[in-house]
Chains A and B, each alone.
Chain A
Amino acid sequence: MLRDVLGKTFRFLGYTVQYGCIAHCAFEYLGGIVVCSGPSMEPTIQNSDVVFSENLSRHFYCIRKGDIVIVKSPNDPKSNICKRVIGLEGDKVCTSNPSDFLKSHSYVPKGHVWLEGDNLRNSTDSRCYGPVPYGLIRGRICLKLWPLNDFGFLRASPNGHRFLDD
């Protein structure tokens, strides 16, 4: 009787470990479903939208300008933020706000990216905390899953003027 219970418990633990490891490999190397919260990416991504984030691009270092990425917050490693890549290393970015009279520019340092939310008026992003190291990027959002009337690939940035071409 006890042997039966022990046997069942060990089998259950074994399956939990095995499926947990498969889940880790799937999230880490393929992708996962993410629920976004907050207003900083409106209108592209609204509060409580469900998106699919693929994690292959960051492992192969092919994140591009204009991609929407999930990044570990530079000031709080336990939370994630979702922003758009405005500049890659070496790119020129505008560090001043649209409302400023005098515009200031700088170049994104090596190994970093410049992130901005699509909702420029209500977003704390690189304009606030500076360029973000590439190593903090967790994944690239490629598909919106919910709400269904907005299913599909994500739109391009509504702020085309923030992308400066050299």
Chain B
Amino acid sequence: MIMAQAQGLGKRYIKAFLKGFFVAVPVTVTFLDRVACVARVEGASMQPSLNPGGRQASDVVLLNHWSIRNYDVQRGDIVSLVSPRNPEQKIIKRVIALEGDIIKTIGYKKKYVKVPHGHIWVEGDHHGHSFDSNAFGPVSLGLLHARATHILWPPQRWQKLQPMLPPERKPLHREQE
């Protein structure tokens, strides 16, 4: 009698676990893919805004997918994107210019570039230590992964990341004001 009750409870637990599993896993995966996730920043290409401490203390940032679901980015946003040279890697850079802007490049094969339709120009804040549009040119908006909105770790660096365009990197001519 007790054995039968225990078996019944066991079956109910398994059923409840499976039911919860099939709800929790798709919802969590969809949330991490479509709404927001966190990521650790590696490298020095965005110093001093991100990772000022170098390898000893990597920043952990909150990546917001939802805000770029319509590919609305502003100049100065810090965004993560799929690397055009290596699709297995994500890179995190600042948006410098949008489609239609004409900018002066730093070390690119052409001195002045007009950003084509559907593309953006990204650069790391640490010029010279950054693999960015100055190396691979304008990137397609389709490669955009998320916008970095907050630094979550270490606690002394908790902050909201504001879109900030360095004045010396302003485009020479803006398509829309």
Q: Is the CB of A72 within 8 A of B87?
A: no
Q: Is the CB of B87 within 8 A of A25?
A: no
In the complex, which residues 37-73 of chain B have their Cβ closer than 8 Å to any Cβ of chain A? 70-71
Which B residue sits closest to A18, measured CB to CB? B23
What total count of A-B pairs have CB within 8 Å?
A: 72
Q: Is the CB of A74 within 8 A of B26?
A: no
Q: Is the CB of B30 within 8 A of A24?
A: yes
Whether B100 is near chain A, meaning CB under 8 Å from some CB there, is no
Q: How many residues of B are counted as interface, with CB atoms below 8 angstroms from the partner's CB atoms?
A: 29
The number of chain A residues touching the other chain, given as a range, is 20 to 34
Query: With A and B bound together, what is the CA distance between A32 and B175 in angstroms?
Result: 38
Segment among B102-110, B138-146, B148-156 that sits at the interface with chain A: B138-146
Which A residue sits closest to B117, measured CB to CB? A75
Q: Is the CB of A111 within 8 A of B118?
A: no
Whether B163 is near chain A, meaning CB under 8 Å from some CB there, is no
Query: With A and B bound together, what is the CA distance between A141 and B82 in angstroms?
Result: 22
Q: Is the CB of B27 within 8 A of A17?
A: yes
Whether A123 is near chain B, meaning CB under 8 Å from some CB there, is no
Q: Is the CB of B26 within 8 A of A21?
A: yes
Contacts of B83 in A (CB 8 A): 111, 135
A87 → chain B closest CB, angstroms: 16
**Given A110-B85, A111-B84, A135-B87, are A77 and B144 also a contact pair (CB < 8 Å)?**
yes
22 contacts between A and B (CB under 8 A): A18-B23, A18-B26, A18-B27, A20-B30, A21-B27, A22-B26, A25-B25, A61-B87, A61-B88, A74-B119, A74-B142, A75-B140, A77-B140, A77-B142, A78-B71, A109-B85, A110-B85, A110-B86, A112-B84, A133-B84, A135-B82, A136-B143
Q: Which 10 interchain pairs have the tightest Cβ spacing? A: A135-B82, A72-B142, A77-B142, A21-B30, A21-B26, A75-B118, A134-B87, A111-B85, A77-B141, A135-B87
